[in-house]
Structure 1
Amino acid sequence: MYKVIGLTGGIASGKSTASAYIEEQGFKVLDADVYARKVTEKGSPGYHKIIEAFGNGILDDDGNIDRPALGRIIFNDPDERQKLNDISHPEIRRMMNADRDEYVKENHVFLDIPLLFENGLDKQCDATVTVYVTEENQMERLIERNGLTKEDAAARIGSQMPLSEKKSRSDRVFDNNGDKADLFRQIDEFLKELQNDEM
């Protein structure tokens, strides 16, 4: 019987690096962000609902949703963020669940979901894993990676459940305060346990 593993983390915690590595090892990783982009694709039902909710100011010159413009609205206002979530999450969930049910017939499946605990999706998983870094490292990496100001970085980190809380709610933690080799070693160990059904 194959398992569904919920994989989460915070912005700039290294979750994408972990996801990519797990995929390289031959496992299917369903990324909520990929589905989120599909929901905002030009012409999709989600696209029209989002414009209706946030206005034409979030569109670029080609009529696509300008994600950074939308980000500036939702990362600084919990009510606006909730509005977007109410539109996009049911659609993301529907698409992801259909794919998960298909792939889990053949192998273990990882669900890469930033808001795994916030949206109660951990209850649909056989096990949960958090990619963890300290808040100092998270802040430093985010500023470096996205060229954000300290204030913007703090707003983005503050808009998410603290990693310390995700860590305490997870079945397993990948500590990513070290280097990539250390992260990959922890993942290898976990995948081995999964394959040997020691989970």
Structure 2
Amino acid sequence: MVIPKRVDTSLTGRIDDLEKAFAAGAYLSAISLALTIPDICGDRLYPERKNETRRRYVDWFNAYVAFNYLDKKSLVTNGAITTSKYYFSGEDCYQLRCVYLHQGINATDPKPGKTSYNLIQFRVFSSGPGSCDHIGETTLVAAGKTTRQVDLDLMKFIRCLKSGVEQFLREYPQMNADNGSGNYLYGPVLDFENGRELP
């Protein structure tokens, strides 16, 4: 008989799995998992806001990740940001999460107060010190339509998300809990392949 190994579904376990997916070149899986982490964190931080999925997601992302995507036009006074504009905010990430996880696409529907991008795309580069995010616009003169696109370095996105989760857990260490079923045999994933054989 084999006793299965339970897969760690805590926040740190999920970040570890995310990094493994990226390292293995499983980019679609890495993006899917990355886009769910603000959902989990927002749900844990704001449990009283059960019917406000979007708001919880956006608020958590803006508090812990968005500052990594600060627009160069933001105003900094005495080393502090006095007015900020993120080129990739919680609203942008939430809109991507919705279309990517539910429709399998990265073309968002720009609306006032939500994302201004028609397309949000990740790029993967060889490992190195820099990253390359890019914002572009294409105007189809005949149609009179402008398409906005942001391209994000996937490795940077994962690093920023990991850093945000680490900060979140320093402030709220109890939020790291593996919130799977309390019964060992009904956890989200039981790994029989790497389990332990009973004598």
Superposition TM-score tier, normalisation by shorter sequence:
under 0.3
Higher helix share: 1
The higher radius of gyration belongs to 2
By relative contact order (CA 8 Å, sep 6+), the higher-ranking structure is: 1
